[in-house]
Amino acid sequence: MELILDKKEFQLISAEFRRIASRLLKTNMNDGINNLKRFIFFIENNPLINNFIQEHNTLTFDIEKEIQNREMYEGYLIQPDKKYEISFIYQLLKHCSDNCSEYISICYFYGSSRNFQDMVDAFNDRVVSMLVGHIEVFLKGIWLDMADNDKFHINVNGGQVSIAQGQGTVNATQNNYFGEIQALKELAEKFNILIDQVDIDKETLADTREIVEIALAEVISDSPKRSILKHAIEKIEYVGKLGTGLNGLNNVTHSLIEQLSKFI
C-alpha cells in the first residue's frame, strides 16, 4: 500500500488522533463506550496507524477469559513488552467495542476506589495510555524522518513503513489571492484571541489553533487541499458554537468560514 502525504496532511492525522485519544482517556463513564468506538473506528480506518497496530498485534489472547479471571482491584497482567502491550490492549479494547454495552465492563474494580468513574480513570491511566503512547511515539518517529522535505510517498507493507521524498512533478496554478489571504490572517488572529474566552479544555483549544494554522498554510500553497480546509471549517464552526453569545466571536467565526470557503 502506498500513501502520499505532505506534512500538513500528516499533521492533520496526528492532531485528529490526539483529539480522539484524549476523548477516551478523559471520558465520563457514561460516554465511555461511544468514545471507545470512535477510537477503534479511527484506528481501523487510518491505514498508517492500523498497519502499525497490526504489525505488533502478533499475540493472541482469550480476552473474555482474561476479563473473568482478573482479581478484584487487581490490574490486567500485561507484560512489559511492546508487542505484548499492543496486542493485549488493542484486543481488549476491540473486544469491548464489539461486545460491551458499557465501557465500565472492562474497568470494574480497577484501582483502589469504589467509585465507578475512578475505576474508569484508573483503567485509562494504567492501560489505555500505554497503547496511546506507543502510537504517539510511532507518529513522532515518522515526523522526524520527514526532516525538511515537503511531500512523501509512505509505503506500508505488512506493517513496515518506509518514507521516500516525492519525485513526481506537481503541476499547479499560482493564484493571486494576496488581499484575501491578508484578510484571512487577520480574521484568524481575532478568532484565536476570542476563543481564549470560550469554556473548552486546553487540548481542544490547542487542536483548534493548530488546524487553523494548517489551513492558513494550505491556502497560501499552490493547490489548497479541500479535505484539510473542510476539516478546519468544521472545527472553527464547532468551537464558534460553543462560544455563542461571546461578544464578536459569532461574526468573526462566520467571516473566517466564509473566507476559507473561497479556497475550496
**What is the DSSP annotation of 188-207?**
HHHHHHHGGGS---HHHHHH
**Across the strands, what pairs with 165?**
152
Pairing of strands 2-6, 160-165: unpaired
Q: Which residues of 72-106 are buried (b: 16+ CB within 10 A; e: fewer)?
A: eeeebebeeeeeebbbbbbbbbbbbbeebeebbeb
How does pLDDT run across 141-170, given as a tens digit for each residue?
777 666 555 555 566 555 455 555 544 333
Residue range 61-84: mean pLDDT, rounded: 90
Greater model confidence, 42 or 243? 42
What is the predicted pLDDT for the residue at 96?
96
Q: What is the amino acid identity at position 36? A: L
Residues above pLDDT 70, as percent of the chain: 83
* Helix pair 226-242, 202-220: axis angle to 10 deg: 140
Q: What is the amino acid identity at position 134? A: H
Inter-residue contact 91 to 57 (CB < 8 Å): yes
Q: How confident is the model at residue 93 (pLDDT cuts 50, 70, 90)?
A: very high
DSSP state of 157: E
Residue range 214-218: mean pLDDT, rounded: 79
What is the predicted pLDDT for the residue at 154?
61
Residue range 81-108: mean pLDDT, rounded: 95
Q: How confident is the model at residue 176 (pLDDT cuts 50, 70, 90)?
A: very low
Inter-residue contact 218 to 225 (CB < 8 Å): yes
Distances 247 to 91, 145, 173, 193, 239 between C-alpha atoms, Å: 48, 44, 39, 12, 14
How far apart, in whole angstroms, are the C-alpha atoms of residue 98 and residue 232? 31
With a cut of 50, say whether residue 117 has pLDDT above it.
yes
Inter-residue contact 159 to 54 (CB < 8 Å): yes
State pTM to two decimals: 0.62
What the block records as the C-alpha cell of 200 is: 473548552
**Angle, alpha carbons 5-50-153 (nearest 5°):** 20
Pairing of strands 2-6, 151-157: antiparallel
Mean pLDDT of the chain: 83
Q: How confident is the model at residue 179 (pLDDT cuts 50, 70, 90)?
A: low
> Collapsing DSSP states into helix, strand and coil, what is residue 229?
helix
With a cut of 90, say whether residue 75 has pLDDT above it.
no
What is the predicted pLDDT for the residue at 199?
86
Residue range 3-29: mean pLDDT, rounded: 86
Residues above pLDDT 90, as percent of the chain: 41
Greater model confidence, 43 or 180? 43
How far apart, in whole angstroms, are the C-alpha atoms of residue 152 and residue 118? 43
How far apart, in whole angstroms, are the C-alpha atoms of residue 210 and residue 207? 5
With a cut of 50, say whether residue 172 has pLDDT above it.
no
Alpha-carbon dihedral angle through residues 79, 81, 87, 92, given to the nearest 10 degrees: 30
Burial class (CB in 10 A: 0-12, 13-18, 19+), 257: middle
Rg (CA), the chain: 21
